[in-house]
Amino acid sequence: MNFKFSDEQKLFLNMVSDIAKTDVASIATITDKESKFPTETIKKLAENGIMGIPFDKKYNGAGLDNLTYVAAVEELSKYCASTGVIMSAHTSLCAWPISEYGNEEQKDKYLKPLAAGEKIGAFGWTESEAGTKTTAIKNGDNYILNGKKVLITNSHEADIFVVFAKTDFETNALTAFIVEKGAKGFTVGEAEDKMGVRGSSTAELYFNDCVVSSKNILGNIGEGLKIAMSTLNGGRIGVAAQAVGIAQGALNEAMNYVRNRMQMGQPISHHQNIQFTIADLQTKIDAARLMTYRAAATKDLKEDYGYMASMAKLFASEVAMEVTTKAVQLFGGNGYSKKFPVERMMRDAKVTEIYEGTSEVQKVVIAGHLNIK
């Protein structure tokens, strides 16, 4: 499988890297400290086509592929995981299912502003208990939604939500709906005070006799579970890319630190133990990156990639936790101080083992693919 980027891809990714090193890196600390959504930075990403990388140009996308997209997510996440998850959740979890399952009217109304970054997207799937309790009952030309979603990324800033609700009470079949911010009966709760990725809002969504037009059914009635699972498969590649970016960013910081930290008249990077630690960590990061690229490239080929996405997310997230933890250790006492970014990166890394399916869920998916019973 060839992961060599074309000249067009290289040009685009160099632009992403330039923005990441300047606009993204400069706001990472304050974004974390104040739990502040990076409005101006997201605007800069939108102006440069980064909020719609894998979508057709006729829908305001950049017209590139999923491999380019995950490389961009990684680059952003090296410097600010909050920015990486905002862009990734917006792209993978909201814009993508509309691109894949929406009709032309829906793509024109919703995908175009999402891909242009004029509006932010979110994905209303998770509930407080296993399964989906949120209901949607047909009422004339509308559906009435009642229920609650929890821990929803981009919840406060999102303008467009892809939401799942039970429409058949005999079969428990689900249907996907596009719900707009400000819809009657739809409210967003207070933002969670999180451990990491603090610049991305996470909150509950409340549907109290929420009125949604039948025109906003995404795909067909009863196809909600299929749409959700295929969307999560793609989202897991995005999470893997976030994890790779966080890990590489933390190791880059650690390498720079050990080259300049003097002990007994020489940099501590001269110690073989330090060199071996860094060599091991970089090897694991490269392996995680290759697994992530493989899943993205397979998705581009329109082949089965679900288990590859789970493998990439499982491995990359665990690598991110290992690398960031050891990066803090390489900094010594300074690693525990907020004067340096590695403690933030360690906090940011943890959620990659949790959201869009915990590591345990990924193992269930992988074992299922291997038909182990």
Catalytic positions: 356
Nearest Cα to 287, choosing from 348, 244, 350, 351?
Answer: 244
Cα–Cα distance, 299 to 43 (Å, whole number): 28
CB 307 within 8 A of CB 233: no
Name the 3-class secondary structure at 170: coil
Cα–Cα distance, 116 to 106 (Å, whole number): 15
9-17: long-range contacts (C-beta < 8 A, 24 or more apart)?
9/64, 9/67, 9/68, 9/71, 12/49, 12/53, 12/62, 12/64, 12/68, 12/72, 13/68, 13/71, 13/72, 13/75, 15/48, 16/48, 16/50, 16/71, 16/72, 16/75, 16/76, 17/75
At 176, give phi and psi (nearest 5°): -95, 135
* Residue in the structure block whose two tokens are 């502003």: 113
Cα–Cα distance, 253 to 38 (Å, whole number): 22
Instruction: Write a three-state SS string for 14-54.
Output: HHHHHHHHHHHHHHHHHHHHCCCCCHHHHHHHHHCCCCCCC
CB 49 within 8 A of CB 62: yes
Q: What single string gives the DSSP state of each residue in 325-346?
A: HHHHHHHGGGGGSTTSTHHHHH
Which amino acid belongs to residue 323? V
E strand or H helix that includes residue 157: none
Q: What are the structure tokens assigned to 207, written together? A: 């549907």
